[in-house]
């Protein structure tokens, strides 16, 4: 054999060996992801997605993928956000804490002239309560806890908890995609954001690209190309379906042809685009061969901006602590743990995900007196939780606080007004029972007063 032939043979052999090694390594990694005792975790956090904006509750909407998720997993029918508004809802999810305890009763509002300002004031807030402009870096997020337990953390989408230096990668996430300084886009069509894009996210896209699809591409790409042996958690926090209501054009026409008008047609199209995204992410997990070793969670950050009927209230209108503003969609599919097509009426809050995630990742009970959330693993396994009160607090208008205990809900106003509802019997909160002589009224008034003294910072 000539020297040239020998050299060619060696190159081909080496090439085949390297290719085989890469294939074997890929197969080993994917096998490890499938067989790991620690499941992967995918959390989809949707913005302003109303409790009633899902097809199995309202046939106006087309959400086949969420319908399937409900059939396969557990649907929490009474899931709530402690402070139902953008930034505080994210703080609570990340930390397991009621946002008011950290001084964030409103969304962040950065002053361009003073971007490092720690607090903001809301012009129409009747008590002018200060509210934080970022999540303090010293707070320990679920990403930081999961990292300690061997997880790789990926963040995709809307952050809205601070600017550069206070981004996901500064709070325990290993990588991020689609993060900007904004709480919502200027348009869901490119160029998406007017400014506030310090990572240069927009430079990779072009006219006609739709933001929900772009972020979903990033999520699918992450799953398809994940090449680490360690389990992962992917936190995909949508900008959608927050306004501006701009539906994807192909879907918009369908709803307009069905008779929906104006922005509501756009909203329905946005909901379906989000549902398509859910389906694409689930398909990517299945194609990777890891869907049966992945906990899949869908949650909204607050009630919808449109009708939330039969619930009262919503994102707008001064009744955000109504069921339509504070109660949200929440579904969990935990293979081998949750039973298919099950529901629960146990009242829970988003702060409960923090200890739940840690217990899933560690396989051990988690106790932390610094958080207010409790693990939902007993419910995921078909059990119950100890009875407790759930508290709510925000600071925009007269209505500012509430407490739920079992079926009962007390709402409090700065002006001194109270409302009392049995939300199990009166889901639409039409029958105010305050002043009717019920003992539960006094119990809840005392309860919320005690909680306020403990939880709400002086200012």
Coil, helix or strand at residue 419: strand
Task: Provide the pLDDT for residue 330.
Answer: 98
C-alpha to C-alpha distance for 33 and 227, rounded to whole angstroms: 9
Whole-number average pLDDT of the chain: 93
pLDDT greater at residue 129 or residue 199 = 129
Indicate whether 1 pLDDT > 90.
no
In DSSP terms, 344 is beta-bridged to: 76
Structure tokens given for 100: 């008011």
Q: What are phi and psi of 434, to 5 degrees?
A: -65, 140
Task: Provide the pLDDT for residue 294.
Answer: 98
C-alpha to C-alpha distance for 13 and 16, rounded to whole angstroms: 5
Q: What is the mean pLDDT of residues 353-367?
A: 97
Cα–Cα separations (whole angstroms), residue 191 to 79, 179, 202, 208: 35, 14, 7, 9
How do the residues of the chain divide into helix, strand and coil, expressed in percent and rounded to 5?
35, 15, 50
Task: Provide the pLDDT for residue 31.
Answer: 54
Indicate whether 33 pLDDT > 90.
no
Task: Provide the pLDDT for residue 19.
Answer: 52
245 assigned to some structural domain: yes
199 assigned to some structural domain: yes
C-alpha to C-alpha distance for 247 and 244, rounded to whole angstroms: 9
Task: Provide the pLDDT for residue 28.
Answer: 47
Q: Model confidence over 400-440: pLDDT tens digits?
A: 999 999 999 999 999 999 999 999 999 999 999 999 999 99
- From the CB of residue 333, how many other CB atoms can be counted at a distance below 10 Å? 23
Band (25; pLDDT cuts 50, 70, 90): very low
Contact between 246 and 189 under an 8 Å Cβ cutoff? The reply is yes
What total of structural domains would you count in the chain? Answer: 1
Q: What is the mean pLDDT of residues 433-458?
A: 98
3 assigned to some structural domain: no
Please state the length of the chain: 459
423 assigned to some structural domain: no
Indicate whether 218 pLDDT > 60.
yes
Q: What are phi and psi of 308, to 5 degrees?
A: -115, 20
Handedness of CA 140, 143, 144, 150 (dihedral sign): positive
C-alpha 184: how far from chain center: 15
Band (199; pLDDT cuts 50, 70, 90): confident
Band (39; pLDDT cuts 50, 70, 90): very high
pLDDT greater at residue 242 or residue 12 = 242
Q: Model confidence over 281-328: pLDDT tens digits?
A: 999 999 999 999 999 999 999 999 999 999 999 998 899 999 999 999
343 assigned to some structural domain: yes
Q: Model confidence over 147-159: pLDDT tens digits?
A: 999 999 999 999 9
If you ran DSSP here, which 8-state letter would residue 320 be given? T
Indicate whether 16 pLDDT > 80.
no
Query: Which CATH number belongs to the domain containing residue 152 in this structure?
Result: 3.40.720.10
Coil, helix or strand at residue 45: strand
Closest CA to 299 of 219, 220, 236: 236
447 assigned to some structural domain: no
Indicate whether 46 pLDDT > 80.
yes
Interior/surface letters 191-206, b for 16+ CB within 10 angstroms, e for the rest? bbbeeebeeebbeebe
Indicate whether 23 pLDDT > 70.
no
What residue numbers bound the domain in which 96 lies? 38-387
- From the CB of residue 425, how many other CB atoms can be counted at a distance below 10 Å? 8
Task: Provide the pLDDT for residue 453.
Answer: 98
Structure tokens given for 260: 């929906």
C-alpha to C-alpha distance for 398 and 318, rounded to whole angstroms: 8
Q: What are phi and psi of 430, to 5 degrees?
A: -100, -15
Q: What is the mean pLDDT of residues 5-32?
A: 50
In this structure, the strands spanning 418-422 and 408-413 are antiparallel
Task: Provide the pLDDT for residue 7.
Answer: 46
Task: Provide the pLDDT for residue 30.
Answer: 55
C-alpha to C-alpha distance for 209 and 146, rounded to whole angstroms: 33
Task: Provide the pLDDT for residue 27.
Answer: 52
Instruction: Determine which of 22-31, 229-238, 247-256 has the lowest per-residue pLDDT on average.
Output: 22-31
Cα–Cα separations (whole angstroms), residue 231 to 26, 47, 76, 122, 207: 14, 26, 26, 42, 36
- From the CB of residue 135, how many other CB atoms can be counted at a distance below 10 Å? 25
C-alpha to C-alpha distance for 195 and 105, rounded to whole angstroms: 26
In sequence order, which residues have a C-beta less than 8 Å from that of residue 109 and are 6 or more positions away?
120, 122, 131, 133
Coil, helix or strand at residue 114: strand
337 assigned to some structural domain: yes
Indicate whether 11 pLDDT > 60.
no
Interior/surface letters 361-390, b for 16+ CB within 10 angstroms, e for the rest? beeeebeeeebbbbbbbebbeeeebeeebb
Contact between 31 and 288 under an 8 Å Cβ cutoff? The reply is no
14 assigned to some structural domain: no
Q: What is the mean pLDDT of residues 246-260?
A: 96
Interior/surface letters 252-271, b for 16+ CB within 10 angstroms, e for the rest? beebbeeebeebebbbbbbb
């Amino acid at each position: 054999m000539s020297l040239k032939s020998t050299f060619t043979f060696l190159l081909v052999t080496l090439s085949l060996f390297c290719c085989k090694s890469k294939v074997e390594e890929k197969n080993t990694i994917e096998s490890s992801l499938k067989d790991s005792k620690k499941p992967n975790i995918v959390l989809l956090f949707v913005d302003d997605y109303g409790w009633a904006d899902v097809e199995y509750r309202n046939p106006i909407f087309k959400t086949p993928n969420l319908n399937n998720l409900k059939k396969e997993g557990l649907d929490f029918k009474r899931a709530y956000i402690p402070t139902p508004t953008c930034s505080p809802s994210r703080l609570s999810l990340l930390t397991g804490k009621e946002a008011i305890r950290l001084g964030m009763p409103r969304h962040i509002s950065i002053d361009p002239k003073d971007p490092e300002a720690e607090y903001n004031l809301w012009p129409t807030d009747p008590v002018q309560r200060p509210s934080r402009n970022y999540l303090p870096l010293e707070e320990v997020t679920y990403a930081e806890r999961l990292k300690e337990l061997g997880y790789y953390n990926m963040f995709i989408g809307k952050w809205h908890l601070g600017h550069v230096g206070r981004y996901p990668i500064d709070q325990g996430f290993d990588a991020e995609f689609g993060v900007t300084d904004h709480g919502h886009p200027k348009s869901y069509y490119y160029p998406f954001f007017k400014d506030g894009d310090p990572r240069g996210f927009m430079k990779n896209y072009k006219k006609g690209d739709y933001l929900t699809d772009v972020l979903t591409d990033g999520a699918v790409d992450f799953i398809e190309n994940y090449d680490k042996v360690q389990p992962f958690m992917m936190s995909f926090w949508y900008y959608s379906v927050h306004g501006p209501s701009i539906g994807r054009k192909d879907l918009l026409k369908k709803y307009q042809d069905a008779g929906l008008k104006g922005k509501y047609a756009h909203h329905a199209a946005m909901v379906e685009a989000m549902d398509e995204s859910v389906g694409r992410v689930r398909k990517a997990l299945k194609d990777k061969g890891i869907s049966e070793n992945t906990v899949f969670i869908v949650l909204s950050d607050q009630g919808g901006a449109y009708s939330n009927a039969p619930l009262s209230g919503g994102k707008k209108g001064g009744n955000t602590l109504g069921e339509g503003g504070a109660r949200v969609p929440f579904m969990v599919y935990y293979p081998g743990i949750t039973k298919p097509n099950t529901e629960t009426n146990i009242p829970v809050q988003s702060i409960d995900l923090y200890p739940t995630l840690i217990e899933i990742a560690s396989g051990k009970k988690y106790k932390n007196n610094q958080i207010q959330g409790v693990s939902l693993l007993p419910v995921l396994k078909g059990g119950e939780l100890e009875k407790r009160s759930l508290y709510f607090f925000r600071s925009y208008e007269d209505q500012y606080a509430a407490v739920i205990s079992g079926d009962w809900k007390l709402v409090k106003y700065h002006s001194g007004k109270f409302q009392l509802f049995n939300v199990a019997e009166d889901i639409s909160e039409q029958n105010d029972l305050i002043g009717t002589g019920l003992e539960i009224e006094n119990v809840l008034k005392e309860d919320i007063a005690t909680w306020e003294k403990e939880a709400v910072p002086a200012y």
